[in-house]
Amino acid sequence: MPRRQLLQLALGSAAAFALACSGSQASDSAPAEASAEAQASADAPVEAKAVAYFAGGCFWGVEYFMEKLPGVASVESGYMGGKIENPSYEQVSAHETRHLEAVRVNYDPDKVSYEAIAKRFYEIHDPTQANGQGPDIGAQYLSAVFVANDEERAVNEALISRLRERGYEVVTEIKPVTEFYDAEDYHQDYYVRHEKKPYCHGFVDRFGDAK
């Protein structure tokens, strides 16, 4: 279903939640170990001291899973990497801006490392899909990481190298950080507010080290 139609349904119809990715090996939850950590730290406040940026298909799903990672304070959906200021969803969806649907992850580096966040990114979306993500096809859904420095670039290069050694033909692009524009309010915490789960994102143990 085109995202423009999905937007219309999301604003006024429960039918928008009927979509599902076929043939996926993904799970709708992270490993038991991560879940236990999240439960243990549920009452501990997390301070947003650093940010990280990722684009992996529809920002609803990436936001949903990133927010579950212990040490993450909050996640916002938005647009990044394009050529105009303050793009609208309609402009991005019409491929008028070259922006990607992206998320800004606000986290506490004393509680979770950038590497752990980046690793989770590769585990919750398909970094081998070149034309979109799941049933969402289009340039705004491409897989990319926006890095702020050489250290973040090195982390992602090492993670991609590990995946390629395991046989994954990763197409994720590593790009320099550009201006991040918040998406419209109705996109924020979409799945939480609607009490639904992502239709084409889920945890997959691509690194072979989940417990």
Which is more confident, 16 or 184? 184
Tens digits of residue pLDDT in 94-142: 999 999 999 999 999 999 999 999 999 999 999 999 999 999 999 999 9
The three-state secondary structure class of 181 is strand
Q: Which two tokens stand for residue 107?
A: 């986290």
pLDDT higher than threshold 70 for residue 175: yes
- 58 catalytic per annotation: yes
Is the full-model pTM beyond 0.85? no
Q: What mean pLDDT, rounded, does the chain reach?
A: 85
Q: Is 3-10+47-194 CATH 3.30.1060.10?
A: yes
Q: What is the 3-state secondary structure (H, E, C) of 82-147?
A: CCCCCCCHHHHHCCCCCCEEEEEEEECCCCCCHHHHHHHHHHHCCCCCCCEECCEECHHHCEEEEE
Q: What is the mean pLDDT of residues 2-27?
A: 39
Domain boundaries, the chain: 3-10+47-194
- CA 125, CA 200: separation in Å to the nearest integer? 8
Catalytic residue chosen out of the listed positions 10, 21, 55, 58: 58
Which of 139, 141, 145 has its CA nearest to residue 96?
139
Q: Is the dihedral of CA 54, 202, 191, 127 positive or negative?
A: positive
H-run or E-run covering 54: strand 50-56
What type of residue sits at position 162?
A: R
**Tens-place pLDDT, residues 34-85:** 555 545 455 568 888 999 999 999 999 999 999 999 999 999 999 999 999 9
